[in-house]
Amino acid sequence: MHAWLCDNPVGVDALTWTELPTPQPAAGQVLVAIQAASLNFPDLLIVQNKYQIKPPLPFVPGAEYAGVVQAVGEGVTHLSVGDSVACLSGTGGFGTHTLAPAELCLPLPPGFSAVDGAAFIMTYATSHHALMDRAQLQAGETVLVLGAAGGVGTAAIQIAKAAGARVIAAASSDEKCALCTRLGADASINYSRQNLRDELKTLTGGKGPDVVYDPVGGDYTEQAFRAIAWRGRYLVVGFAAGPIPALPLNLPLLKGASIVGVFWGDFAKREPASNAAMMRELAGWYAQGKIKPVIDRTMPMTELKAAYAHMGSRGVMGKLVLVN
C-alpha cells in the first residue's frame, strides 16, 4: 500500500507519498481499500499542527473516505469483506488502504457512489447538527450562510432549504454566488465587492437573518452579527479566514441574540444515539434527492499537494475528492 505520511506537521510540503506494509486489522477494525477520500478544511489544519486534534507522529492525514472492506478483524459483526463503506475516522484517508475502526464505518446503500460517500459525513452532519439541533431552525426563517460555496456551506444551503428556510448565501466571487443560487439559495451577496451588513438589511427589509451560519470568521463575523435579527442565533462553525474574531458582548444583549458553538465531532462522541438518528435522516434525504454533495472535481490521490493548494487559495466550490 501507499499513503501520504506526515512525520513533521509543518505544512503540506513535508508530506511524502510512502510505500508501507499493508496492515492486518486488529479486533474491532477493518482493512479498507480506499476508492475516494474528500478534502475537508481540518485536513489542512491538521498537517500544519493548527487543528485541535494532534495525532501522534507519523500519521496519514485524510479524515473522511469511502472504499471496500478487504479484511475484517475479530469481533466485527456488521461488516463483511466486499462491503462498500464510508468512514470518518479523523486520519488515514489519503492513501490506498487504511485500518478503520469498524464502529465508524457506515455501510453505503446501493446507489450511493464512493465519491459521494467520501464527501458526505463531515459536511452534512456538521451543517445538520448546526442548523437543526443547535439553532433549532424553523421553516420560514431566514438563514445567512457565510462561505456558502465551500464544503460545509453548500451542505448548509441544501439542509436549510430542505427544512423550509429562506437562504441568503454569501461568498467571495460571482461564480461562487451563482453556484449557491443553482443549489437553491434565494439570494446571494458577493462580500468581496458588496457590503455585507447593508445588503443583509436590504434583503431582509431591515429585520436581519434569524440564523447566521459562520464557517469563515475574520472580519465577516462582526458585520454579520450586527445585522442579525431579534432572537437570532449565530452559529460559530469555523475560522477558515484564519483569525478567530472577538465580538463586543453588547451586541448579543441588544438583539436578544445567542452565540451558539458547533462542534459536530464531539456531539457524535458524546451523544451517539442522537448522531445516529441524524445520520439516518440525512441518508433518507439523500435517497429522496433533497441533498447531494457538490463535487468541485476529482483528482488522483497522488496529486494531494495540488488539491491542498486549491483549497488553500479558496478555489474549491463544494468538495474536492481524491480517487485511487
Ligand X SMILES: NC(=O)c1ccc[n+]([C@@H]2O[C@H](COP(=O)([O-])OP(=O)(O)OC[C@H]3O[C@@H](n4cnc5c(N)ncnc54)[C@H](OP(=O)(O)O)[C@@H]3O)[C@@H](O)[C@H]2O)c1
Residues that bind ligand X (CB under 6 A): 40-42, 122, 126, 147, 149-153, 171-172, 176, 215-216, 237-242, 262-265, 311, 314, 316
Evaluate whether 141 touches 212 at the Cβ level (below 8 Å): no
The minimum distance between CB 165 and ligand X, in angstroms, equals 19
Residue among 19 and 303 whose Cβ is closer to ligand X: 303
The minimum distance between CB 129 and ligand X, in angstroms, equals 7
The minimum distance between CB 140 and ligand X, in angstroms, equals 26
Residue among 72 and 187 whose Cβ is closer to ligand X: 187
The minimum distance between CB 74 and ligand X, in angstroms, equals 32
Please name the helix (run of DSSP H) or strand (run of DSSP E) that holds residue 65, with its range, or none.
Answer: strand 64-72
d(CA 280, CA 269): 16
The minimum distance between CB 107 and ligand X, in angstroms, equals 23
Residue among 35 and 172 whose Cβ is closer to ligand X: 172
d(CA 59, CA 9): 9
Q: What is the DSSP letter of 101?
A: E
Residue among 26 and 276 whose Cβ is closer to ligand X: 276
Evaluate whether 190 touches 162 at the Cβ level (below 8 Å): no
The minimum distance between CB 75 and ligand X, in angstroms, equals 30
d(CA 103, CA 86): 11
| Residue with the shortest CB distance to ligand X | 150
Residue among 12 and 241 whose Cβ is closer to ligand X: 241
d(CA 156, CA 135): 12
* Cell numbers at 286, concatenated: 439523500
Place of cell 459525513: 121
d(CA 224, CA 212): 7
The minimum distance between CB 264 and ligand X, in angstroms, equals 4
The helix/strand/coil state of 319 is strand
Q: What sign results for the dihedral spanned by CA atoms 6, 12, 16, 20?
A: positive
Q: Please provide the DSSP assignment of 143-182 as one string.
A: EEEETTTSHHHHHHHHHHHHTT-EEEEEESSHHHHHHHHH
